[in-house]
Amino acid sequence: MTSRLPNFIIAGERRAGTTTLYNAMAQHPAIGLLKPADASFFTDDLFASMQSWDDRRLVLSDWDEQHSLTEYLALFRHVDGQSIGHKGADLLFWTPAHERMMRFVPNIKLLVVLRDPTNRAASHYLNEVSKGRETLPFAPALAVEEDRARLSAYAHFHYSYRERGFYHASLERLFDVVPRSQVHVIIFEELVKEPRRTLNEIFEFVGVDPLPAPILPHSNPNAAVRARPIFERPGLQRVVAFNKRVTNAAVSRTVRQNDRKIAWRRRLNSATHQTLTRSDLPTAEMDTLREAYHNEAKLLSQLLDRDIAAW
């Protein structure tokens, strides 16, 4: 099969419904999608793939030395369809990726999914906890977010819980590089409420026919856990954390389906850990986030010239 470059990318935002959109688009017979779902090609994949703290600063020239159009094209040698694409949930936020995309695929169409920013931030935090990268409780993690981001590119990439929710700022940076006509913004709550209309608008944008009854799957739930109180004693914390990392790594290597991975992780960690959900996060911190984002829907409505009423 001859490779050809993609004509669309699901470009973010992380924990805003990009996997749900990816799976919904996969049902269309004329759409071909790169697997696995997330491709970190245009982000700085060194930091994207790391699982523990790294102090290194971002050196933009490193990406140019390590990536080529030939390498990118080769990713799609087994992808076929009238319209082909991939998902990169961090591309909206990660500003260096904007110019890289325009350099490699200047006519690319970008699909950007946005979700209630407070709920997105909570989901992002829980996801980092589930992956073992975040060890701080929610309130301290928010309190040190800016300081950590200044210290390392790794922290800015993974611990940007609050910052990523200022969507208008991310979109303004994107529009400085990418023509607005090449960007289609989807509000996740509208996608859930009106999946047929919203999905068919997306299909039209990427150049395929509408479907009579497209299905919106529920995808990529969080699997966050925290140590049970008895195991939070200083002498046991390191042992428990090590056991969790080993267990999660073993499940990742041996179980393919994401929902089964989540189930097995919870089962194997249940003796030492309990499930952590959004309702377990401190109300005060959730309220603080809502206050920080109180003007976001208005700013986004002005930027996009459309009513954002879902939040």
- In whole angstroms, how far apart are CA 161 and each of 49, 126, 269? 18, 10, 25
Residue 229's pLDDT band, with cuts at 50, 70 and 90, is low
CB 16 within 8 A of CB 114: yes
Q: Please give the structure tokens belonging to residue 157.
A: 């990439």
Between CA 15 and CA 11 the distance in angstroms is 12
Query: Can you read off the two tokens belonging to residue 275?
Result: 């499930």
| pTM, rounded to two decimals | 0.85
Average pLDDT of every residue of the chain? 88
What's the pLDDT tens digit per position in 136-150? 999 999 999 999 999
Residue spans of the domains in the chain: they are 8-206, 225-275
- Position 58 scores a pLDDT of 73
At 256, is the secondary structure helix, strand, or coil? Answer: coil
The encoded tokens of residue 265 equal: 């992780």
Query: What average pLDDT does range 152-156 have in this prediction?
Result: 89
Structural fold of domain 8-206: Rossmann fold (3.40.50)
Q: How confident is the model at residue 248, as a pLDDT?
A: 75
Helical pair 283-292 and 117-130, crossing angle rounded to 10 deg? 130
User: What single letter denotes the amino acid at residue 245?
Assistant: R
Measure the CA–CA gap between 68 and 186, rounded to whole angstroms.
30
Q: Are 228 and 27 in contact (CB under 8 A)?
A: no
In whole angstroms, what is the distance from residue 215 CA to residue 283 CA?
A: 34
Please check the confidence at residue 270 and state whether its pLDDT lies above 90: no
pLDDT tens readout for residues 14-73: 999 999 999 999 999 999 999 977 788 999 765 666 666 666 677 778 889 889 999 999
The rounded distance, in Å, linking the Cα atoms of 13 and 111 is 10
Q: Are 101 and 20 in contact (CB under 8 A)?
A: no
How many angstroms separate the CA atoms of 271 and 309, rounded?
Answer: 43
Helix (H), strand (E) at residue 132 = none
How far is CA 36 from its chain centroid? 14
Q: Which of 31, 154, 140 is nearest to 85 (CA)?
A: 31
Phi first, then psi: give them for residue 51, nearest 5 degrees. Answer: -110, -5
Reply yes or no: is the peptide bond before residue 172 cis, omega within 30 of 0.
Answer: no
